[in-house]
Amino acid sequence: MSASKKKNIRELTAEEITEFFQSHQEKTFRSKQVYEWLWQKSAHSFDAMSNLPKTLRELLSEHFSIDAAEVSDTQKSKDGTVKNAFKLYDGNIVEGVLIPTDDRMTACISSQVGCSLTCKFCATGKLERIRNLSAGEIYDQVALLRKQSEEIHNVPLTNIVYMGMGEPLLNYANMLRSTERICSPDGLNMSPQRITVSTAGIAKMIKKLGDDQVKFNLALSLHAANDVKRSQIMPINDQNSLEVLAEALQYFYAKTGTRVTFEYIVFDGFNDTLEDAAELAAFCKVVPCKVNIIEYNPVEGTGFINAKADRLDRFKDFLEARRIIVNVRRSRGKDIDAACGQLANKNMLKKVTS
């Protein structure tokens, strides 16, 4: 069978792998072994499946591929942050980041090659969306970053955030299957409560998360709590206004009971006044929530800079005075372009801007 016609075996369910073995008169218990190699042991080749007979490995190799992601480049920040370029089977590149803090070790992973949403402050928004990542490619980032966490920092991976390149809810099926494989006992066996999926705000897909009663956390990249300002920096707000998003979030909470996180980058001179804070406080009444205030990291050509420290503190104090839970997320990995909003493979960005 030619390589171009081989099916990616990680697109198959355990039952479909069992059916394959049955059709080739092989013992069906082998399917469980293969599934464990793929999703527990993160095998990237059939030759690595050492408890399978050679003839069986050859049969699998004849019919299937494992379209795996591999680390092609790594940069280490002075603060311990590690940024990786992951090379995909077709040569495309996405980035993922390992972020150490005092109480957690977080993997920030990508869901698409590029992005279609053109958020004005985001480096990835300058790229075209080339394609969605498969569930296996999303899973690979977590498995590889988990390995790095143990090798570099000698601590286990504790948290996963879908906050890298791309919009996870525009790759819904693969995003959802990746979380299932990451959390399943026959996968990486991580808790869904340790996973946060971040969206720029696709209302109908937020409702679908509720219908699917997902167990992971949801974060909304808000960054402005009035439609005029939000549409200026996030064109998706034109079709997904704050009113529409509020309804979707209420639906999500009613279905899941999960508190929502609002992410809010405070830009200097744009959304950093007490009036902006008051609008955010009003939006926080929509659904049980907390607010993550995020330091902005400079992205060339955007014209945005981080709010001054005193204005950020006033903004935070205003919210806390209204009994809103607020965390300030300090930038990590700025020196290697690994911080929030900075992920964009430089070679890809050159193609877009040249």
**95 included as an active-site residue:** yes
What is the pairing mode between strands 82-87 and 326-329?
unpaired
**183 included as an active-site residue:** no
Which residue among the candidates 26, 95, 167, 295 is catalytic per the annotation?
95
Catalytic residues: 95, 340
